[in-house]
Structure 1
């Protein structure tokens, strides 16, 4: 994608827009972290999704994902 943008900018004579800074990622939770608070953070998207979420939630993943599903009404 960056290469396509480069060529587009060259052909159109425009300068690329500045890239916004990356959002800092919250630290991995401690094993004793509050499951409801973690579930709320997951719902807000603070822990990513898929493998990234599993990696960051570590041993709490199953309990947090179960609570997220309960809060969202997913069985």
Structure 2
């Protein structure tokens, strides 16, 4: 095997790993944006279980706070 073939194989592996990493990262960002890990219903049930009566305004505040912390 020549030196050029070895270099090309290593280069192809590096490009594949880097490309795969960025593709997987973009896919996960899109997936989490479309399917957030926590929803308003989950926040509402947590607040009720803590003895609070959640208003729609308070739910929106909590969701906006969570969204700003994830960016």
- The TM-score with structure 2 as length reference comes to 0.28
Higher relative contact order (CA 8 A, sep 6+): 1
* Structure-1-length-normalised TM-score: 0.26
Larger helix proportion of the pair: 2
